Structure 1
Amino acid sequence: MPDPAPARNLQASHRTLRDASALAEAGLLPPGTELAGLEAVAARYAIAVTPAMAALIDPADPRDPIAAQYIPDPAELRTAPHEIEDPTADAPFTPVPGVVHRYPDRALLKPLLACPVYCRFCFRREVVGPDGGLLSTGQLEAALAWFERTPAVREVILTGGDPLMLSPRRLSWLLERLAAIPHVEILRIHSRVPVADPGRVTAALAAALTLEKPLFLCVHANHAREFTMEAMAALQRLTGAGVVLLGQSVLLRGVNDSAEALEGLFRAMLRGRVKPYYLHQLDPAPGTARFTVPAEEGRALLAALRFRVTGLAWPTYVQERPNGGGKAVVGPVWEDVV
């Protein structure tokens, strides 16, 4: 088994980096980078690079796949013609603040909009940020009341933002409230924390995820190097507490747009007991065009892995339909693969 990737940048800070100057001081920007352009980006879109991710960035490599995900770029202020503010159409399907109900049998709950890191390709980049977007007590109670009176919903998906940014005590309270609803059968959490900020995965947090009802934790990671020794330890802590781990990734130009990179990512997930679940086609959020990989190229990449990886490593390749139509399977169609 290959060892997890070593730390790449020994100058990385011991605190989360939240502005262009901090990135420069930590040695994470290429020589000659103009801070004014990055400060303009920061005025619109939040920046956060945790120590765990900063330690992986090689600023000497202009094509570093970790830097591409987290280091701001002036290109983010250019909106392509096909890009839209709410590409997943959360707003039209929000019956009460914090809830998104697009599918009959499941709904999202967004208790907060803060994240440990802010991905430069995020489809909610217009709304997430360090102010947290935390639901007030009244809003959260209204959201829980909506779930209680909506018996068609059998699965609640906690997202945001990152639900694992909540304190273990608050998270445990919220999960227990949801699990107590008779018609709610499954709980799911989507999170970057286990790889982006693995120190947050304490024994207390793992205990908060231990419920009588099934709970699935979807871990967002896009490159094999994100599965450091610390991340692997965090994942082991979670599985040791009985949490079932799934993996979700976004197909990104300059990050994982090769068969080799995808194979490495999926194999790293399995070593961490994470079952690859979704590979997402990039959602067209403003300023993300540089990450776009055409769907036909994505299909070809997956086809190239056909006989190279176990079926356990295989995610479903999906794309959001416009106007909140939900996910469509992109392919490939295996009958067409020679």
Structure 2
Amino acid sequence: MNQPRTARSLDDLVAAGVLAPEAAAGLARVADRYAIAVTPYLLERIRDGGEPFARQYLPDPGETDAAPEERPDPIGDGAHMPVKGIVHRYPDRVLLKLHHACPVYCRFCFRREMVGPGGDALSKDELAAALDYVRAREEVWEVILTGGDPLALSARRLAEVVGVLDAIGHVGVIRLHSRVPLADPGRIDADLVSALRASDTAVWVAVHCNHPAELTAEAAAALARLADAGIPLLGQTVLLRGVNDDPAVLEALFRGLVRNRVKPYYLHHPDLAPGTARFRLDLEEGQALMRAIRGRLSGVCQPTYVLDIPGGHGKAPIGPVWLHGGSAQGDGIEVEDWRGRRHAYPPEATRVAIDRKDGLE
């Protein structure tokens, strides 16, 4: 019996029943430019659920229409790459991009010009040079494995990299960013979990999840295998028009993550990757969504809404403002509560008491 296989072409998507033949006919230019991969597990989910879940994974004609503000390297990785595979943007942490392959290629990916079957993987010598870079810089406290999806590597190779990093005394945290627990949850098996164990370094996994429909029983079991092994889990979400740009969807998503022991970490404003304009909201729309969920969700469910500044300048928090007015001396400050009501700070009665104590009356 033939095992289901990953769809890697328009014909594969048609054969899997997730793309109409007439739709595929207009997507040849997209397929020529950007990689396609949808795992058998996700194909089944798409057949069951359709939009908006499928919007993340299925090609769209608009992908070849780049807006003037879009750029191949939207967050400026290339400006901070001292050696191949290393991005050193912040003083205390680096990205280590081991390869450029993923089990699924998301249609909004900010590295869509770099990832794919033909993308570079570090050779043995290049990996050694990247690890030497980390070893030589004691300010590097955290190494973030990204790429390409690090959990797409074999357990053996992953264990080797984790082992080398674990032996570098000044590295305190190894963080892996992955879509695998949601795109191919069966891959999170005992061997892979074992490969993530370190003796002297904290290992964290950041899981990329954008819609509550991704938190299936299979995905929950994969996350549990990681959490039960003592690996702390973070959630990363991209705010996507037509996928999760609704307070009720975000509420269900963030509660679902926390229920699965995943702390929502970042809500990313979508980057200016070529051909992704259909996914982007205005900043004001994103802030309004964050404002809408503020009083509806526990603080443990609240991510930080961030924008990666184009050009390589790093992330900036861009959530709504809750503090209004005020002078240089701090007078006239108002704090807005989750209902939209404003309150003086400090309260008037407290201010009068302080003035009396200081002999100002």
Give the CA deviation at 1:31: 6.7
Conservation of the 8 A alpha-carbon contact between 1:206 and 1:241: yes
Q: Which amino acid aligns with 1:323?
A: G
Q: Which amino acid aligns with 1:23?
A: L
TM-score by length of 1: 0.93
Match of 2:225 in 1: 237
Match of 1:50 in 2: 39
Matched, 1:206 2:196: no
Q: Which amino acid aligns with 1:18?
A: R
Give the CA deviation at 1:39: 2.3
Matched, 1:263 2:227: no
Match of 2:213 in 1: 225
Give the CA deviation at 1:132: 4.7
Equivalent in 54, 62, 66 of residue 53 of structure 2: 66
Conservation of the 8 A alpha-carbon contact between 1:19 and 1:39: no
Determine the C-alpha separation between the residues in 2 that align with 1:31 and 1:225.
26
Determine the C-alpha separation between the residues in 2 that align with 1:208 and 1:334.
44
Conservation of the 8 A alpha-carbon contact between 1:250 and 1:279: yes
Conservation of the 8 A alpha-carbon contact between 2:176 and 2:204: yes
Determine the C-alpha separation between the residues in 2 that align with 1:37 and 1:175.
44
The structure-2 alpha-carbon separation of the partners of 1:202 and 1:209, relative to structure 1 and needing over 3 Å to count, comes to: same
1:322 is paired with a residue of what secondary structure?
coil
Match of 2:183 in 1: 196
Matched, 1:16 2:6: yes
| Structure-to-structure mapping, 1:100-179, within 5 angstroms | 100-179=87-166
2:294 is paired with a residue of what secondary structure?
coil
Task: Note the alpha carbon deviations across 1:139-186, whole angstroms, 9 max, x for none.
Answer: 000000111111111110000000001111110110110111111111
Give the CA deviation at 1:53: 1.2
Give the CA deviation at 1:38: 1.8
Determine the C-alpha separation between the residues in 2 that align with 1:132 and 1:326.
24
Determine the C-alpha separation between the residues in 2 that align with 1:81 and 1:66.
28
Conservation of the 8 A alpha-carbon contact between 2:193 and 2:225: yes
| Structure-to-structure mapping, 1:297-308, within 5 angstroms | 297-308=285-296
Equivalent in 193, 198, 203 of residue 215 of structure 1: 203
Task: Note the alpha carbon deviations across 1:230-256, whole angstroms, 9 max, x for none.
Answer: 111101111111110000000000100
1:296 is paired with a residue of what secondary structure?
helix
1:143 is paired with a residue of what secondary structure?
helix
Match of 2:272 in 1: 284
TM-score by length of 2: 0.87
Any stretches of 5+ residues in structure 1 without a counterpart?
A: 1-12
Matched, 1:318 2:306: yes
| Greater RCO, CA 8 A, separation 6+ | 1
Determine the C-alpha separation between the residues in 1 that align with 2:202 and 2:5.
35
Q: Which amino acid aligns with 2:151?
A: L
Any stretches of 5+ residues in structure 2 without a counterpart?
A: 324-335, 341-361
Determine the C-alpha separation between the residues in 1 that align with 2:188 and 2:300.
25
Determine the C-alpha separation between the residues in 1 that align with 2:61 and 2:215.
28
Q: Which amino acid aligns with 1:45?
A: Y
1:57 is paired with a residue of what secondary structure?
helix
Match of 2:15 in 1: 25
Conservation of the 8 A alpha-carbon contact between 2:14 and 2:21: no
The structure-2 alpha-carbon separation of the partners of 1:187 and 1:109, relative to structure 1 and needing over 3 Å to count, comes to: same
The structure-2 alpha-carbon separation of the partners of 1:59 and 1:32, relative to structure 1 and needing over 3 Å to count, comes to: farther
Conservation of the 8 A alpha-carbon contact between 1:28 and 1:59: no
Determine the C-alpha separation between the residues in 1 that align with 2:44 and 2:322.
40
Conservation of the 8 A alpha-carbon contact between 1:38 and 1:74: yes
Give the CA deviation at 1:226: 0.5
Give the CA deviation at 1:60: 8.8
Determine the C-alpha separation between the residues in 1 that align with 2:20 and 2:302.
35
Determine the C-alpha separation between the residues in 2 that align with 1:56 and 1:46.
20
Aligned residues: 323
Determine the C-alpha separation between the residues in 2 that align with 1:254 and 1:119.
14
Identical-pair percentage:
55
